[in-house]
Structure 1
Amino acid sequence: MTSDNEQMSQGRRLLDEGQRLLAQGDRVGAAQVLARARDERDTMLAAHALIESHGLVGSFANIMGLDCTISAQDDIFGFFAGHPSSRNPLRDYLADGWRTLSELMLLLEAVDRPLLKTSRVLEFASGHGRFTRHLVKALGAQRVVVSDVVPGAVEFSRGTFGVAGFQSASIPEEVRWPGQYELVFVLSLFSHLPCSTWGRWLKALYGGAVAPGGLLVFSTHGAKAAAFDCVALDDEGFFFAPSSESHAIDGQEYGTTFTTEAFVRQRIEEACGAQSLVHSAPVHFWNHQDAYVLRKAAS
């Protein structure tokens, strides 16, 4: 008969040993063992959590100077962890957020609105903080507000990063905006919306969340992404498939979307006025998603 210990995976044995060493006060030994457990797929996130929460040698927080806690419910981390090209999902996930910060800063410099001089930022569709942690390092938690529709996501970011936050809604017109913001950043939401809500979300965000004189920045899957995935767009320049990396949102509400620049510009004109578009940058985020910057007229 096989014992429970024999059935236990290598990662589980290492994780248990690391916890035992922590209980004994042996931080050096625990760091070494937990680093090995972090290399095993089945115990990667649990070992990472112990290393980060105890501030052990080898923690990402010691390297990056920010909170590197990752939620077990984070679908984006799950995407990295399950992707065959990712040899180090923890590093790739955290580096991806840092790259996004640099790309947002470059985009805002192009319209002469530096991020570091921005008084209040709403990160909409913020998930479990892949980008939020980096935004907090740049601005401080007091200048950052987050919102997401996924249950528990906002609570995680509020508790982990100290930001303010509010629950979003599945229906754009039902969101209750607690305020307006100098910058509203919407990364990779419009690359997932069906046609029935695409323009409505644009109108709701621009009209309800952006302060007079403020900016709305959002990204889309454009021509390069469509060509890469061999997607044929319809006559309007639109394609939607009801599936994505998210397991928390219904695919009909949040799938995978591709749009032409002409489609995006038409929806901007309808929802916000053509004059609101002040800058666009093809394949700006991750060398894959197009970026658009809208400015709301000052009152």
Structure 2
Amino acid sequence: MSVKQYLKRKLRPLLSKIAVNTDSYTEIKMLEARIEKLSKDVHNIYPEHIIFDDEVLNNIKRFREENNISDSLNLNVHKNDVMFLHSKQLGSQQDYARIYTTYFKVGYLLWDILKQLAVHQFGSLNEVNNILDFASGYGRLTRFMTLEMPSNKIWVSDIKANAVEFSKKEFSVNGFPSTFKPEDLSIPNKYDLIYVVSLFSHLPDISFEPWLKKLFDSLSDDGILAISVHDEGMLNSKLKEEYQYQEQSEEKPFQYLDDNIQSSNTYGTMIINEAYMQKKFSNLGIANDNYTRFKKLIGPNQDLYVISRQKSKFKENFTFKKTF
């Protein structure tokens, strides 16, 4: 349970006693503002890194041993990591050990997917010149990259400058802050691999294609761009249009964070179908042979599109050995 949830639960009896009229509405808004401020004040007291108890650490140790992951894995998780906080919010106090470990499991599986793509495209990780983890957050995935690749080959970028600095400091990787508008961002290199998990699944239509173009243009000649999207398969019925944008995301419950993304117009929940993706690819001159779609590869709700300048190597003779 988050600080905000706890405070709301404590104040719920008081809120329920207030009659619904103009004055009480104002009081409720004042209470909500107080909850927000208290949440921020309490959060700011915490140390920068999440503190794990022995049960959590033992769970993580078992997870490492089961997957032959080096004990040099950096376990430092920033207290502003929304991916961690979102997972924590979904669980109960009794589940914390499992939920905390799941954060690392997801990062590991995301890296394993990228590693399989890299080996199939280039022959081995040694042949990869560089990787860009775009919309990298606070390093849920990045920490696993550094176990198998030189950190000087790894780049991170995120809209949250503090997250970029955290990854540079903790994992000794290269990094640069992103921008809300692709035209405002100068990307310093061409990359063999650009991995974008949970960005396009949040972008509105107006910025979807510009960001797709920006990142595709940042590929090396033999490079691949892998992006995750919310497909309409997550809905109970097919989309009436080619996409549906909802002004909500996992950022919303954590408005007390000093680097929270406040605007739901620029970062929400985007659900699309393949016709939408084909139209965007066509607009950018990306032929059908140049991309491969992997349905529901990242959990039950996200497809992965792997895009290249050349004919895709993933349409034939390739299957993932391990996924979610």
TM-score class, shorter? 0.7 to 0.9
TM-score (norm 2): 0.69
Question: Which among 75, 93, 101 is matched to residue 68 of structure 1?
Answer: 75
2-structure distance, mates of 1:169, 1:113? 33
Give the letter for the 2:75 counterpart.
C
Question: Residue 152 of structure 1: SS of its match in structure 2?
Answer: helix
Cα drift, residue 59 of structure 1? 8.8
Q: Which digits, 9 at most, give the CA deviation of each residue in 1:63-92, with x for residues without a partner?
A: 442101000110110001101375422101
TM-score (norm 1): 0.74
Unaligned runs of 5+ in 2: 1-45, 255-259, 312-324
Cα drift, residue 295 of structure 1? 0.9
Question: Which among 120, 131, 136 is matched to residue 126 of structure 1?
Answer: 136
2-structure distance, mates of 1:111, 1:288? 25
Q: Which digits, 9 at most, give the CA deviation of each residue in 1:11-57, with x for residues without a partner?
A: xxxxxxxxxxxxxxxxxxxxxxxxxxxxxxx99x6432x98xxxxx8
Unaligned runs of 5+ in 1: 1-41, 52-56
Partner of 1:183: 193
- RMSD over aligned Cα, in angstroms? 2.8
Question: Within the alignment, does 1:47 sit opposite 2:51 as a pair?
Answer: yes
1-structure distance, mates of 2:101, 2:112? 17
Cα drift, residue 103 of structure 1? 2.3
Matches within 5 A, 1:105-184: 105-108=115-118, 111=121, 114-115=124-125, 117-184=127-194
Partner of 1:233: 239
Change (3 A) 1:116 1:218: farther
1-structure distance, mates of 2:126, 2:161? 30
Partner of 1:278: 291
Cα drift, residue 268 of structure 1? 1.3
Question: Within the alignment, does 1:223 sit opposite 2:232 as a pair?
Answer: yes
2:203/2:270 contact within 8 Å kept: yes
Cα drift, residue 223 of structure 1? 2.9
Partner of 1:31: none
Partner of 1:203: 213
1:145/1:164 contact within 8 Å kept: yes
Change (3 A) 1:46 1:284: closer
Aligned length: 246
Change (3 A) 1:124 1:276: farther
Question: Which among 268, 272, 291 is matched to residue 304 of structure 2?
Answer: 291
Percent identity over paired residues: 27
1-structure distance, mates of 2:99, 2:179? 30
1-structure distance, mates of 2:124, 2:284? 26
Partner of 2:27: none
Question: Within the alignment, does 1:82 sit opposite 2:89 as a pair?
Answer: yes
Cα drift, residue 201 of structure 1? 0.6
1-structure distance, mates of 2:50, 2:156? 25
2:59/2:101 contact within 8 Å kept: no
Q: Which digits, 9 at most, give the CA deviation of each residue in 1:112-160, with x for residues without a partner?
A: 6554532200010000001110111121312110000013010000000
1:223/1:260 contact within 8 Å kept: yes
Of structures 1 and 2, the one scoring higher in RCO (CA 8 A, sep 6+) is: 2
1-structure distance, mates of 2:301, 2:119? 20
Question: Residue 160 of structure 2: SS of its match in structure 1?
Answer: coil
Cα drift, residue 261 of structure 1? 0.9
Cα drift, residue 226 of structure 1? 2.8
2:229/2:302 contact within 8 Å kept: yes
